[in-house]
Amino acid sequence: MAVDELLDESAFDPKKLFNEEEYSTLIIKRDGFSKQENSDADLVEALLDNKNTRQEDEAIFASLKELKAQDLLVNAIQSTEVIDFKIKLLAACWETGLEFANHFLFFVSMACDTNFQIAMEALTVIENEEGTITPEVLHAALALATNNSGGHSVLKQDLIEHIQSRINS
């Protein structure tokens, strides 16, 4: 864009920046972040680049696993309103192979989401979770899934059965 275009008020429409179909941004709260934490956040943001090759994504997953970036991923999922970002970040949770036992209830609530892809990715995180989950959290998760009126019936039934099998084992 030429300098003349930037100065021409009619050439640039700032309202376009708020058009989610043309631009979307994930903002990770970085207040008080160290240099390392900023680097970790950059990895999460890099995941959202649709131009990544599978190899690049796998390298990012490996780095996130090495950094134990569970909290950062969960915070990024919570902070974005962009559905495609949520889906990609949820998929990254299970693709990294990280343990999310401390966030089990969060993923249960996401598995009850009305968006099928969000619910499916969250259910995949739950089904791949190998960490220890306390009986209290499992019972709270079962109540959350059972009492939730939203979501997809087949996915919700799978979720309930998975939680019940964990309670009974």
Question: pLDDT truncated to tens, each residue of the chain (169 aa)?
Answer: 444 544 455 544 545 444 444 444 444 454 544 455 556 677 888 888 888 899 999 999 999 999 999 999 999 999 899 999 999 999 999 999 999 999 999 999 999 999 999 999 999 999 999 999 999 999 999 999 999 888 888 999 999 999 999 999 8
CB atoms within 10 A of CB 151: 23
Task: Report yes or no: 148 and 156 within 8 Å, Cβ to Cβ.
Answer: yes
Q: What are the structural domain ranges in the chain?
A: 16-98, 99-169
Cα 105-106-111 angle, rounded to 5 deg: 95
| pLDDT confidence of residue 39 | 64
pTM over 0.85: no
**CA triple 19-23-25, angle to 5 deg:** 115
C-alpha 16: how far from its chain's center? 26
